Chains A and B, each alone.
Chain A
Amino acid sequence: KNEVEQSPQNLTAQEGEFITINCSYSVGISALHWLQQHPGGGIVSLFMLSSGKKKHGRLIATINIQEKHSSLHITASHPRDSAVYICAVGRGSQGNLIFGKGTKLSVKP
């Protein structure tokens, strides 16, 4: 079993839909990251969180440390949100991350 599990693996949505991507982990962590990898390969760091909830525009990330679970929500999804979303957990030093296998999101107009 992987230490970081994401679901779903693939997700297709219609423009405007509310999206949820889930991440469960089985190890103690110092922080959890959500990354976005564009179809061209570029990576953007969306959130780094160790408790509670963070919001950035239409993106919301939550984490429940007791349940070892995090969710990434996208409100009013748009085709430009189409990308692979990757959950990664930090176990010790910053940057030393264990990565999930990603969720490929496709938003149709």
Chain B
Amino acid sequence: GEEVAQTPKHLVRGEGQKAKLYCAPIKGHSYVFWYQQVLKNEFKFLISFQNENVFDETGMPKERFSAKCLPNSPCSLEIQATKLEDSAVYFCASSQAEWTEAFFGQGTRLTVV
């Protein structure tokens, strides 16, 4: 597609439940990035992929967060046993190659209650 598509737009989970977020990068883009925006302006890098390979996962809280980008499937970010502090907007972005412009999806707002 011509835009980064994130689903769902909104997700509500009870504390302790699992949350799974999806991101379809722009067709032909090799790099995918996940970010977490807590409150209004606190962005944090989580993980990046080059095709289906993890490129940089230094921002991932490993205990409960995992992510995949499998061929011919949307990328996914999964949070096991969600906590209240996981409430945030999760943005996905993609770029065609390294050090080229990144395009952002509209985000998934996760609310943990």
Give the segment of B11-19, B63-71, B76-84, B90-98 that binds chain A.
Answer: B90-98
Asked if A88 is an interface residue, CB under 8 A from chain B, the answer is: yes
Q: Per DSSP, are chain B's interface residues mostly helix, strand or loop, or mixed? A: strand
In whole angstroms, what is the CA distance A20 to B33 when docked? 29
Asked if A66 is an interface residue, CB under 8 A from chain B, the answer is: no
Q: A41-B107, A93-B48, A94-B48 in contact; A102/B56 too (CB < 8 A)?
A: no
With a CB–CB cut-off of 8 A, which chain B residues contact A95? 31, 33, 45, 48, 55-56, 93, 95, 102
In whole angstroms, what is the CA distance A96 to B106 when docked? 19
Asked if B59 is an interface residue, CB under 8 A from chain A, the answer is: yes
In whole Å, how far is B69's beta carbon from the nearest beta carbon of chain A? 13
With a CB–CB cut-off of 8 A, which chain B residues contact A98? 45
Asked if A43 is an interface residue, CB under 8 A from chain B, the answer is: yes
Which among A43, A44, A84, A94 is the interface contact of B95 at CB below 8 angstroms? A94
Q: A84-B41, A86-B43, A88-B43 in contact; A96/B58 too (CB < 8 A)?
A: yes
How many residues from A make CB contacts under 8 Å with B? 22
With a CB–CB cut-off of 8 A, which chain B residues contact A45? 93, 101-104
Asked if B110 is an interface residue, CB under 8 A from chain A, the answer is: no
Asked if B42 is an interface residue, CB under 8 A from chain A, the answer is: yes
Asked if A101 is an interface residue, CB under 8 A from chain B, the answer is: yes
The residue of chain B having its C-beta at the shortest distance from the C-beta of A31 within the complex is B99
In whole angstroms, what is the CA distance A98 to B35 when docked? 11
Asked if B89 is an interface residue, CB under 8 A from chain A, the answer is: yes
